[in-house]
Amino acid sequence: MAARTKGFWMLVVVAMAMAVGIAVYYFNSQEQTASPEAGATNAVQYEFVWRDGDVRGVDLPSKVRVPTTGKVVPIHLVQDMVSQNGEGKIEFLQRVRQVMVSYSEKHSHEACGEICSDGATNSIRITTNAAVTRCAVAPICMSGQETTLESIHSHCPSSGHLKATLADEYLSEGVIRKGMRPARCDTERFSSMDLDGRRPGWLAGRGALLQHDGPARITRHQLFPAGE
């Protein structure tokens, strides 16, 4: 009887060990998931680095540095845009929205830019860091223009196949790891980091241009002004 009891408990121990092993294997085999919102609560200050001879505030920086870690990420120019004759700010930003959305849909990376003006025209230098959940807005304007202290950016497209890049990991200070799948990438809503940032802020949504002046004041601009 004692032998049977001992054998029974040995089987139980073996079964539990196998169950634990299977669970560990399953966990390790699953791709990790990261929410952009998790990184959004961690506001990171970036430093922009220019090459010798470049005009700061106009020329494209050579890279972006994260001061807390010393990590650097590239910055790429997507497109320069200037408003057309008679084109108002909202109309101009609608065109910017379309360019940003098209870029993010094609490359699965965020795009962003500082909104600038000379009082008569508006302009923007759209850039990207090749990151899925982040875009460091470069403090640059086209020559003769000055910042309006506003920025606009796009979000990565809603897709189940996106994976964070090394730029995501560096820009989020490691909150998001390379290879993680964003749990949510809403193209039509500001993230918590967006709402905590400069006001007003702009989002290039797939369906509309969105503007916020804090969490309680969000405006959705229609594609075309009434009457057109």
Q: Which of 99, 108, 116, 100 is nearest to 132 (CA)?
A: 108
Per-residue pLDDT in tens (0 to 9) along the chain, 228 residues = 555 554 544 444 444 444 434 333 333 333 343 444 433 433 678 999 999 999 999 999 999 999 999 999 999 999 999 999 999 999 999 999 999 999 999 999 999 999 999 999 999 999 999 999 999 999 999 999 999 999 999 998 766 688 999 999 999 999 999 999 876 678 887 777 777 777 788 999 988 999 988 777 888 897 654 334
Block residue for tokens 């920025």: 151
State both tokens at 166: 């090394």
H-assigned helices in 55-142:
89-107
Block residue for tokens 């849909």: 105
Query: Which DSSP helix (H) or strand (E) runs through 5?
Result: helix 2-29
Enter the pTM of the model.
Answer: 0.78
